[in-house]
Amino acid sequence: MPISRRERPAKPALTREGIVDTALRLMDEEGLQRVTMRRLALALDTGPASLYVYVANTAELHAAILDRLLGQVDLAPAADADGWRERLHTVLVSYTRLLFAHPSLAQSALVTRPAGPHYLTLVETLLALLDEGGVPAPQAAWGVDILLQSATASAAEHSSRVEDTRSDEEWRRLNRALAEATAETYPHIHAQAADLVSGTPEERTRWAIDMLVNGILATPRTR
C-alpha cells in the first residue's frame, strides 16, 4: 500500500547551505554538467521553484559550489613562509590544485563569478601579499584578477586534457611537428623546438606567476 502523506517522515527544511551540500555531492557523483536546478530539485524531493528562493539560477549555484570549495585553499603558508613572493606562489598553487581535483569545475570557473566569503578571503589574502611586496593598490586590484585568470585557465586546460582520451596522441603529434619544423620555413621554431615543450608543470607554473607579478609591478595603470 502506498504510504499516506501524513505517515511520511517530514522532509528537512530547505536552506542554502543544504542545497549547496547536495549540489556538491551530485557534482562528485555525476559531474558538474548534471548539477542543474531540475536535477537538484529531484535529489532534494522538491520542485525547482522552491530552490529559486535560495539560488537564482544554475550559474549562481555553480558559483556557490566554487566558493564552498575555495574554503579548502591553503592560506596558512601566507603567515609563515619565507618572502611574500613565495607565499603568493603557495596560495596560487593551492588554488590551482583545487581546480585540478575538480576538472569540470575548473572549466566552469573561467566564467563563474563567485562572491561568497571564501572567494573574498582569497582575494583579500592576495591583495595583502601584493601590498607587502610594494605593488601599488591600483595595479594590485587588476593584478589579482589576472593572477586568478591565469591559474584558472591552466587548470581548465589540464582538466580538458585529462578528460580527452586523445590528448596523449595530440601531444605526441605536436612534438613531432615541432621537431620536424625546417629551419628554412620556421627558423625560430626550429631553433627552439625542444625549449617550447621543456620544463615540468611546476617549473612552468612558478615562472608564469613570477612573470605576471613582475609585469604587475612594472606596469602602472593609465588614467
From 24, 55, 86, give the residue that closes a domain.
55
Q: Is 60 within the bounds of a domain?
A: no
Q: What is the pLDDT of residue 177?
A: 95
Are residues 32 and 120 part of one domain? no
Domain count, the chain: 2
Q: Is 206 within the bounds of a domain?
A: yes
90-143 residue pLDDT tens: 999 999 999 988 878 888 888 888 889 999 999 999 999 999 999 999 999 999
Distances in Å between the alpha carbon of 199 and those of 30, 81, 95, 128, 169? 34, 25, 21, 30, 19
In the predicted structure, residue 165 carries a pLDDT above the cut 80: no
Are residues 135 and 39 part of one domain? no
Are residues 188 and 115 part of one domain? yes
Check which CATH number belongs to the domain holding 153 and give it. 1.10.357.10
Q: What is the pLDDT of residue 157?
A: 81
Are residues 202 and 129 part of one domain? yes
Q: Is 133 within the bounds of a domain?
A: yes
Are residues 197 and 167 part of one domain? yes
d(CA 203, CA 38): 43
169-188 residue pLDDT tens: 888 899 999 999 999 999 99
110-135 burial, b at 16+ Cβ within 10 Å, e below that, comes to eebebeeebbeebbebbbebbeebeb
d(CA 118, CA 97): 16
Q: Is 62 within the bounds of a domain?
A: no
Are residues 111 and 79 part of one domain? yes
d(CA 53, CA 75): 33
| Average confidence (pLDDT) over 138-151 | 95
For the record, the C-alpha cell of 100 comes out as 585540478
Distances in Å between the alpha carbon of 112 and those of 49, 60, 63, 67, 152? 22, 8, 6, 10, 11
Q: Which domain holds residue 32?
A: 16-55
Are residues 80 and 28 part of one domain? no
Q: What is the pLDDT of residue 107?
A: 83
Q: Is 48 within the bounds of a domain?
A: yes
Round the average pLDDT of the chain to a whole number and report it: 88
Are residues 137 and 51 part of one domain? no
Q: Which of 198, 104, 204 is nearest to 160 (CA)?
A: 104
Are residues 204 and 136 part of one domain? yes
